[in-house]
Amino acid sequence: MQSDSQINRPTITTNEVVRPTLVEVDLSRLADNYRAIQEKVAPALMMPVLKANAYGHGLVDVGHLMESLGADYIGVAVLEEGILLREQGIQTPILVLGGIFGNQVPFFLKYDLTITASSIEKLWQIEEISEQLDLKAKVHLKIDTGMERIGVHYYNAEELLEASVTCKHLDVEGIFSHFANSDAADLRHARLQIERFEEVLSFYEKHDLQPPRMRHMANSGAILQLPEANYDIVRPGLVLYGVYPSPESSRTIDVSPALSWKSRVVYFKVIKPGHPVGYGSTWETDHFVRAVTIPVGYGDGYFRAMSHKAQVVIRGKRYPVVGRISMDQIVVNIEWDSAYNDDEVLLIGEMDDESVTAEDLAEWAGTIPYEILTNINTRVPRVYVRS
């Protein structure tokens, strides 16, 4: 009997084994979107937001692209995202936009990450730890002008600003807020937020002080609709990836989706009448149909809520997904058309004259494009191309 060490096993590398279900990211389109936004907002600087795995596009690869394009800053949501970018060689300044805990401050300092100070207590905490470590922390002050998440309320902000100018171990280089409704057709609340932010900023003029060199507020919706909110630097998120933040927002910048989600036919069958498909037997045909199985499911982020609604493109034609979406597989009814094993299946993207968009999936799932893109699981490989 042979031992394990005697068995001749083939050597398998990651490059040779790629799931038929994958995400393809077009770096050329992403770069074009970046430049289009940059041209629109100039002379404001650019802080592309790469949180949530760069909206599903791949944090590290998109980070390297943004650095190569000369991004002035990178925005992320959590400390770990910033650390990963640093460990992968990204040297561009990085702002962690989310709330922090005191025991995280040494890591911000170690990895040269900029901290969001969202209250006077957190400001003093950052100052104290920076003094203990004999280091200087880069800080942006967060002002809540109408979002009610983190940040000091605009009507209580003066105490935070007063404290910030006395901190000797902080470089308070920024002050910012965030819009709740900048992608809406009705921009009254967004403009009220701008007024509140301006009210806070007036503190510096009243006290004959230089304001922080980076005032920022504009997210994707504001970049498209509220040029008065550009200030010193803007934070493009969803629009950077070629998807508009809502059906109501103006299309004042021409961008294209950079992400395609693809799979391949793994099985072909003929289904007889009266033979239901999938868990719960929720769909059956009253006539013979051809059907194909695709290796993707809610375990990949292809939401179960899209069952009986979703459509895919095969050979340039849309077909419905039938039966309940499983964790790892879906079934597609092609009626009496032809499809073959290994045929490409488009889940998001363009093929010939047909397309499926992130907005389509959002409508079928009863959600928003943000959730569709950020929920494409990391077990789905990302492949990078330049068109």
Q: Which tens digit of pLDDT belongs to each residue from 150-169? A: 999 999 999 999 999 999 99
How large a percentage of the chain has pLDDT more than 70?
A: 96
Cβ atoms of 154 and 95 within 8 Å: the answer is: no
Taking the C-alpha atoms of residue 259 and residue 186, their distance in angstroms, rounded to an integer, is 30
Q: Which tens digit of pLDDT belongs to each residue from 98-136? A: 999 999 999 999 999 999 999 999 999 999 999 999 999
Which amino acid, residue 28? S
Between the alpha carbon of residue 251 and those of residues 216, 233, 257, the distances in Å are 21, 20, 14
Which amino acid, residue 216? H
Nearest 10 degrees: CA dihedral of 68, 72, 77, 78? 80
Helix (H, G, I), strand (E, B) or coil at 267: strand
Domains of the chain: 27-241 (3.20.20.10), 259-385 (2.40.37.10)
Q: How many CA atoms lie within 13 A of 340 on its CB side?
A: 0
The whole-number average pLDDT for the span 269-295 is 97
Check residue 3 and give its pLDDT: 44
- Confirm whether pTM is higher than 0.75: yes
List, by residue number, the catalytic residues.
51, 279
Q: Which tens digit of pLDDT belongs to each residue from 306-359? A: 999 999 999 999 999 999 999 999 999 999 999 999 999 999 999 989 999 999
